[in-house]
């Protein structure tokens, strides 16, 4: 995935008398060629705003966003591709499952809009991959945080996005769930070949997933780094696994369950 982002936006703050907090402004630009990009940095530095801009939920005052040569946004040329046409999946921190639909109907929501070609992960594949078969007829509020997040990831994948955005997808989860979903994210990166942009506070998570890291500080670019994350596990991801202890068993279980998935041709 080649991602070229240039954003400038001034946020009008509700000025409090006596506080010299200037209005927050975002002014960042970066170009990366990465399979998985992580946006890191302190809270409130504008990481989620960047994700929202890529998704098309938020339009900045000025800037452009290009993904693999396609312009999604260019304020100078008055181009702003509508969110529903960008085909960018978004896994939110809070899941955001539709409360009035069952898990199954949540998963299938994007079905009408997804192109029929491209990566061949169907409902059954996704359900097996995420281990959510027993939840299909439940309502979202009967799910735990980890279950919700897995369904949210599945829902995004079934819409067949060309890019997957994830905003702290693991923040609400306990350690064990965290490592399960991390393993899943790695597999999406390596086996499905789905490009992704991740916002995270957790260094272990970033080390395992990211192939590039963009550091955002107070609305400005801090640094850009490349990570040696290869398709198979690397030193970095192994060490992260040791920290997160109970990973091994889940990991092999996941791999066993879906050997057929590897034959699915990955997207370039």
Partner 1 sequence: MEMLTPEELSALQLSLKVAFSATLFSIPFAIAAAFAISRLRFPGRSLLDSVVHLPLVLPPVVTGYLLLVTFGRRGPVGQLLESQFGIVLSFRWTGAVLAAAIMGFPLLVRSVRLSLEAVDLRYEQAAGSLGANPLWVFLTITLPLTVPGILAGAVLAFAKALGEFGATITFVSAIPGETRTIPVAIYGYVQTPGADGSAMRLALLAALVSILALVVSEAMARRMTLRDA
> Shortest distance, CB of residue 57 to partner 1, whole angstroms?
5
Exactly one of 109, 145, 221, 236 binds partner 1 (CB under 8 A); which one? 109
C-alpha of 69 from chain center: 20
Q: Where are the alpha helices (DSSP H) in the chain?
A: 47-55, 83-86, 103-107, 123-130, 145-158, 175-187, 203-209, 235-243, 248-257
Stretch that binds partner 1, among 78-86, 196-204, 218-226, 241-249 (CB under 8 A): 78-86
> Does 99 contact partner 1 by CB under 8 A?
yes
- Helix, strand or coil, per DSSP, at residue 168: coil
β-bridge partners, 74: 64, 79
Region of 37-45, 68-76, 98-106, 194-202 interacting with partner 1 (CB under 8 A):
98-106
Residue 153 in contact with partner 1, rule: CB under 8 A? no
Give the three-class secondary structure for 145.
helix
132 touches partner 1 by CB under 8 A: no
Phi, psi for residue 167 in degrees, rounded to 5: -105, 100
Selected range binding partner 1 among 95-103, 190-198, 239-247, 255-263, rule: CB under 8 A: 95-103
User: CA distances (Å), 144 to each of 9, 67, 224, in order?
Assistant: 37, 34, 36
Residues in touch with partner 1 (CB under 8 A): 55-57, 82-85, 87-90, 92, 94, 96, 98-100, 109-110, 112-114, 139, 141, 155-156, 159, 165
């Amino acid at each position: 995935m080649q991602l070229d982002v240039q954003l400038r936006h001034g946020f009008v703050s509700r000025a409090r008398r006596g506080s010299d907090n200037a209005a927050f402004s975002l002014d960042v630009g970066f170009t990366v060629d990465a399979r998985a990009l992580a946006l890191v940095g302190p809270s409130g530095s504008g990481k989620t705003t960047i994700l929202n801009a890529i998704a098309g939920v938020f339009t900045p005052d000025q800037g452009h966003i290009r993904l693999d040569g396609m312009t999604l946004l260019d304020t100078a040329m008055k181009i702003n591709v509508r969110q529903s046409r960008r085909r960018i999946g978004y896994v939110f921190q809070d899941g955001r499952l539709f409360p009035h639909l069952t898990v199954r109907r949540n998963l299938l929501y994007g079905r009408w809009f997804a192109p029929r070609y491209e990566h061949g992960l169907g409902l059954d594949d996704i359900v097996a991959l995420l281990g959510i078969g027993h939840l299909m007829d439940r309502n979202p509020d009967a799910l735990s945080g980890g279950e919700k997040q897995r369904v949210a990831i599945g829902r995004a994948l079934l819409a067949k996005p060309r890019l997957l955005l994830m905003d702290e997808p693991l923040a609400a989860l306990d350690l064990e769930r965290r490592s399960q979903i991390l393993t899943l994210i790695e597999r999406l990166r390596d086996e499905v070949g789905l490009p992704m942009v991740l916002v995270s506070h957790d260094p272990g998570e970033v080390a395992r997933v990211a192939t590039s890291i963009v550091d955002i500080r107070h609305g400005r670019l801090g640094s850009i780094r490349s990570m040696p994350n290869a398709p198979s596990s690397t030193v970095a991801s192994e060490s992260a696994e040791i920290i997160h202890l109970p990973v091994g068993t889940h990991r092999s279980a996941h791999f066993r369950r879906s050997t057929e998935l590897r034959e699915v041709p990955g997207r370039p």
